[in-house]
Amino acid sequence: MNQKNFMICGLTGWCMEILFTSIGNMRPGDMRLKGTTSIWMFPIYGMASCIGELYPKIKKWPTLARGTLYSIGIMTGEFISGSFLKKLHICPWDYTGSKHNIKGIVRLDYFPYWLMAGLAFERLLCKQGTTEK
């Protein structure tokens, strides 16, 4: 795994999470747009660097197919890492209150968001010149 890509994906993931949670916390009359993340999320987002290694093998696939594969991979990684962190009682997220959750660790309704995030990571890694175009 490329260390530079790991750092890029970790930092990018943190930024995306802060933006996503800021929008999700927006309330009428409260324009503070407070976003949150956790230090634990850096290595989890850093694992998106695997997309850079996978892309050359699937670059001819349609965009939706690549995004679907990325989303499945991201949600699988979220489930594995979340299960581990939950056992240690340090998981920074809890989806038990959401309708479409699996063990409070993964939200199935987030599938399209992860699809878009995966494609964003793909584009970012390709622009960095760290994957075969």
How is 73-123 classified by DSSP, letter by letter? HHHHHHHHHHHHHHHTT--S---TTSTTEETTTEEGGGHHHHHHHHHHHHH
Query: Where do the domains of the chain lie?
Result: 3-127
**pLDDT score of 131:** 58
Per-residue tokens: 13: 């993931």
Smallest CA-to-CA distance from 12 within 106, 112, 119 is with 119
Q: For residue range 14-55, what is the model confidence (pLDDT) as tens digits?
A: 999 999 999 988 888 888 989 999 999 999 999 999 999 999
**pLDDT score of 107:** 98
User: The whole model's pTM is what?
Assistant: 0.89
DSSP structural state of residue 61: S
**pLDDT score of 129:** 63
Rounded to whole angstroms, how far apart are CA atoms 46 and 69? 17
What value does the mean pLDDT take over residues 46-73?
A: 97
Supply the angle between the helices 111-127 and 3-24 in degrees, to the nearest 10: 140
Q: CB count, 10 Å around CB of 53? A: 15
Smallest CA-to-CA distance from 5 within 55, 40, 39 is with 55
What is the H or E stretch that residue 56 is in?
helix 50-58
What value does the mean pLDDT take over residues 73-95?
A: 98
